Amino acid sequence: MNNEYLRSALDYLETLPDITVARRTPDTYQCPNLSINKWTRLSLYDADFGWGRPIYMGPANVVHEGKIYILPSPTDDGSLSLVACLQTAHMKLFEKHLYEGLKSFDKIKARY
């Protein structure tokens, strides 16, 4: 970012009748990117605070659009849990791409 860029942004903001529309909040973020975080190798469910195995360990609140966390299942059965923040309109598209991507793994031969 340089001086010219910042001044251009300020000039744009001055033209808006309601400056709050330019604010980035969880419900108006509208970022086109995905950030996928894989926490499957973390020993999330090994913690015992005195009352047994946790029923959920993961991010408490995912408020930024496009953030996705892949977590190990609390049942320790090899399944995965997915925590995501997506617009409703994008959920079906994400599901489609996810399953198409998983199908491609069937074609990959393991070396071990």
Distance CA 100, CA 95 (A): 9
Band (pLDDT 50/70/90 cuts) for residue 46 is confident
pTM recorded for the entire structure = 0.60
Please report, in angstroms and rounded to a whole number, the separation of the first and last CA atoms in the chain.
48
Look at residue 5 and tell me if it is in a domain.
no
Q: How far is it, in rounded angstroms, from Cα 24 to Cα 36?
A: 20
10 lies in some domain: no
**pLDDT at 111 (0 to 100):** 60
What pLDDT is attached to residue 18? Answer: 86
| Ramachandran assignment for 78, one of left (phi > 0), alpha (psi -120 to 50 degrees), beta (any other) | left
Based on the structure, what is the number of domains in the chain?
A: 1
19 within some domain: no
Does residue 8 sit within a domain?
no
Residue 81 corresponds to which amino acid?
A: S
d(CA 55, CA 74): 6
Is the residue at 4 inside a domain? no
Q: Residue 31: give the domain boundaries.
A: 25-105
CATH number reported for the structural domain that contains residue 72 in this entry? 3.30.559.10
What does the pLDDT average to over 21-34?
A: 65
Within a domain: 91? yes
Per-residue pLDDT tens digits for 66-99: 888 998 888 878 888 888 888 888 888 888 888 8
**For position 36, what pLDDT does the model report?**
86
Q: What is the mean pLDDT of the chain?
A: 81
SS3 for 107? coil
Mean pLDDT, residues 45-71 = 84
Q: Among 66, 69, 76, which Cα is nearest to 43's?
A: 76
Q: Tell me whether residue 75 is in a domain.
A: yes
Determine, yes or no, domain membership for 36.
yes
